Amino acid sequence: MGAETRRAGRRLLGRALMAVGVLLVAGALGLLALNAWEDRRAGVAAAAVAAQLEEARGAGDGPTPEPAAAGPAASSSDAMASVIVGGYAYVGTLTIPALGLDLPVMASWDGDYDALAVAPCRQFGSPQTHDLVIAGHNYASHFGGLSRLVAGDEVVFTDVAGREWRYRVALVETLAPEAVDDVRESPWDLTLYTCTYGGASRVVVRCAALA
């Protein structure tokens, strides 16, 4: 009787563990599906904003540029013209041919992850001061592919007035999440960065301006 009871208990435990496993797998699949849906939505939203910015440039009589500062600690030298689209201020678009990306860039980021889910955000600096830093979400449709860039790849930033700044990728590195000064205080003309999945580190792309 005791042995039979133990066998029955083991069977019940096995079934319970199997049920838990099935639930965990279902949960993981559901999370993957949610992430994929958010990624697609972010890509569609970014493309729509980029198209509106391009139309505004081409029209000549589009939205009136307004000065925008980059983050709470920005100086007056960081000021850039911006236009409002969908309630957010944008300073231009970022084109990365190697990744097939043409993304709008918000004027600033103050920790609002809802904004970062819409488009990459300028965090520090400007093209004029040769210290532009742009942060992006790790969606595949945003900055998720930064680690695939290699030295020599082209990056173009176009402001809301249509002026272009062209860069070449010089270095791709991985930094700790708390290495804020290493991201901001650098000799590079343009820095792009995103978090790895899980947020364990940052993928940072350093770019040099083309003459």
At residue 67 the predicted structure's pLDDT band, cuts being 50, 70 and 90, is: low
pLDDT per position as a tens digit, 171-209: 999 998 888 888 888 899 999 999 887 778 999 999 999
Q: Percentage of the chain surpassing pLDDT 90?
A: 42
Count of beta carbons in the 10 Å neighbourhood of residue 31:
10
Confidence check: pLDDT of 47 > 60: yes
> What six digits make up the tokens of 188?
């590079």
pLDDT at 168: 98
Strands 202-209 and 154-159: unpaired
pLDDT per position as a tens digit, 114-124: 888 889 999 99
At residue 61 the predicted structure's pLDDT band, cuts being 50, 70 and 90, is: very low
Render 73-131 in DSSP notation, one character per residue. T--GGG-EEEEEETTEEEEEEEEEGGGTEEEEEES--SS-HHHHTTS-EEEE--TTTT-
Phi-psi region of 76 (alpha: psi -120 to 50; beta: other; left: phi over 0): alpha
- pTM of the complete model: 0.74
Q: Are 19 and 91 in contact (CB under 8 A)?
A: no
Distance, CA of 88 to CA of 66 (rounded, Å) = 12
Strands 190-195 and 66-68: unpaired
**Mean confidence (pLDDT) of the chain:** 80
pLDDT at 181: 83
The CATH classification number of 37-209 equals 2.40.260.10
Picking from 135, 140, 138, 139, the residue whose alpha carbon sits closest to that of residue 120 is: 135
pLDDT at 25: 61
How many residues in the chain? 211
pLDDT per position as a tens digit, 4-41: 777 766 777 666 667 666 566 655 555 445 465 566 67
pLDDT at 31: 47
Residue spans of the domains in the chain: they are 37-209
